[in-house]
């Protein structure tokens, strides 16, 4: 079983801080002051494990044991939650039975499209040499604020759906921590028209792939003719 990375440990601490208000009643009195570290409503905690000597962030894909308390510091930042994270935690209110007319229901967002956008965001991180399938599914996705990503079974189902559609491609890459155990990496199949359509709708993720018109007959006809 591969060791955890610095990024995974940071994510676990962020999740723990987020859950503190719900668990404070179960804590012994001596630990209850820790609840003050929990992010206030509308904010999220962002944890950074750093070296004490120069306060530099430890590389996120480094093994977890690269950071130790006696020679490191934990930096906690509080940032505004994304719109999707806020919507996921807003209570739903039902309209009175006598209200009319009833507006048409909106078409629900395809979770696979959410997954593609989340992976596009992860691929922009310069500290990641590749995106590990396991890390993306179990650590990164739950932090993105999608309601469907809260359940492990649903995350797996959506990921498999994306792979079956060929929107997401998988490959085996060397494990920098344990070379004898390769890691399954994933990446977006950006030339696919459906994927390009998703990325082109979001600022900052516009696809750089543009088909070039070539003179002459279609390549498929050339291949068929050469086989005869």
pLDDT along the chain (228 residues), means of 10: 76 86 83 86 85 83 84 84 51 47 52 92 86 92 88 91 92 84 90 87 51 54 50
Q: Which DSSP string do the residues of 61-85 spell out, in sequence order?
A: TSBGGG--GGGEEEEEEEEEPPHHH
In terms of domains, do 73 and 122 share one?
no
Question: CB within 8 A of 208, min separation 6: which ones?
Answer: 190
Q: Do 139 and 11 form a contact (C-beta atoms < 8 A)?
A: yes
Number of domains in the chain: 2
Residue 210 forms part of a structural domain: no
Buried residues in 16-25 as b, exposed as e (16+ CB within 10 A)? ebeebeeeee
Which pLDDT score is estimated for 108? 52
In terms of domains, do 51 and 125 share one?
no
Which pLDDT score is estimated for 101? 52
In terms of domains, do 116 and 197 share one?
yes
Give the separation between CA 122 and CA 4, rounded to whole angstroms.
Answer: 18
In terms of domains, do 61 and 138 share one?
no
Residue 217 forms part of a structural domain: no
Give the separation between CA 30 and CA 44, rounded to whole angstroms.
Answer: 24
In terms of domains, do 72 and 142 share one?
no
The tokens for 201 are 């709708």
Residue 201 forms part of a structural domain: yes
Q: Do 113 and 198 form a contact (C-beta atoms < 8 A)?
A: yes
| C-alpha count within 13 angstroms, C-beta hemisphere, residue 112 | 15
Burial class (CB within 10 angstroms; exposed 0-12, middle 13-18, buried 19+) of 11: buried
Q: Do 114 and 155 form a contact (C-beta atoms < 8 A)?
A: no
In terms of domains, do 41 and 122 share one?
no
DSSP H stretches of helix in 63-175: 83-89, 111-123, 133-135, 152-164
In terms of domains, do 201 and 121 share one?
yes
Q: What is the DSSP letter of 143?
A: G
> Which CATH number goes with the domain that contains 162?
1.10.10
Number of Cβ within a 10 Å radius of residue 159? 21
Q: Do 205 and 187 form a contact (C-beta atoms < 8 A)?
A: no
Residue 90 forms part of a structural domain: no
Range of the domain at 2: 1-81
Residue 4 forms part of a structural domain: yes
Q: Which of 53, 57, 54 is nearest to 75 (CA)?
A: 57
Q: Which of 213, 106, 150 is nearest to 18 (CA)?
A: 150
Which pLDDT score is estimated for 186? 92
Residue 37 forms part of a structural domain: yes
């Amino acid at each position: 079983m591969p060791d955890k990375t610095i990024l995974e440990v940071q994510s676990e601490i962020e999740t723990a801080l987020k859950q503190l208000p719900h668990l404070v009643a179960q804590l012994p009195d001596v630990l209850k002051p820790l609840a003050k570290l929990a992010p206030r409503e509308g904010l999220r905690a962002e944890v950074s494990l750093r070296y004490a000597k120069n306060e530099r962030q430890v590389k996120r894909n480094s093994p977890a044991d690269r950071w130790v308390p006696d020679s490191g510091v934990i930096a906690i930042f509080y940032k505004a939650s994304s719109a999707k994270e806020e919507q996921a935690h807003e209570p739903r209110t039902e309209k009175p039975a006598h209200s009319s007319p009833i507006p048409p229901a909106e078409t629900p967002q395809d979770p696979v499209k959410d997954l593609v956008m989340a992976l596009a965001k992860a691929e922009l991180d310069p500290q990641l040499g590749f995106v590990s399938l396991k890390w993306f599914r179990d650590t990164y996705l739950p932090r993105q604020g999608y309601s469907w990503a809260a359940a492990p079974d649903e995350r797996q189902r959506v990921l498999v759906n994306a792979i079956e559609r060929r929107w997401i491609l998988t490959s085996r890459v060397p494990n920098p921590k344990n070379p004898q155990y390769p890691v399954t990496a994933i990446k977006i199949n950006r030339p696919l028209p459906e994927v390009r359509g998703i990325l082109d709708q979001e600022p900052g993720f516009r696809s750089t792939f543009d088909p070039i018109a070539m003179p002459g007959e279609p390549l498929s006809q050339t291949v068929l003719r050469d086989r005869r």
